[in-house]
Amino acid sequence: MSIRADKQKYVEELAMIAPSSIQEDLRRIGTTDRLERHLINIPKEGDLSKCEKYTSITLLSVPRKFFNRVLLDRMKDSVDVRLRDQQAGFRKDRSCTEQIATLRIIAEQSVKWNSSLYIDVLDHEKAFGSMHR
């Protein structure tokens, strides 16, 4: 699949969940070259044969930056409604510190009451992989 076809597929998928006010804009912009970007991989220390040993920087064109900002501002509310309440990171007026504090309080009470406590932590990146860059 070509990069152009990938870009078109991404824009079409995004248009399906976007508010109707910007669906046509997404389809029109998706067919132009204004969405081009350049990825630059900067190596970190260690074994460079592993992908996680690189930091990626994306260089966007000015129209793309503007489009991304408009898209983000318009989609924030509709996407926020679809996310679970447990998803706290990178959301407005939410923080992971509340979840960490809750876990700490539960652990402290378990020690205070001399009861067993079982905690299961799942690393989603290791379990499900990460997005291909």
Q: What percent of the chain has pLDDT over 70?
A: 68
Global confidence as pTM: 0.38
pLDDT at 28 over 60: yes
Q: 30 with 22: CB under 8 angstroms?
A: no
Mean pLDDT of all residues in 64-82: 80
Mean pLDDT of all residues in 17-44: 65
Cα atoms in the Cβ-side hemisphere of radius 13 Å centred on 83: 15
Exposed / middle / buried, residue 71 (Cβ in 10 Å: 0-12, 13-18, 19+) = middle
Domain boundaries, the chain: 3-35+63-120
According to DSSP, the residues that pair with 59 across neighbouring strands are 38
Mean pLDDT of all residues in 15-36: 60
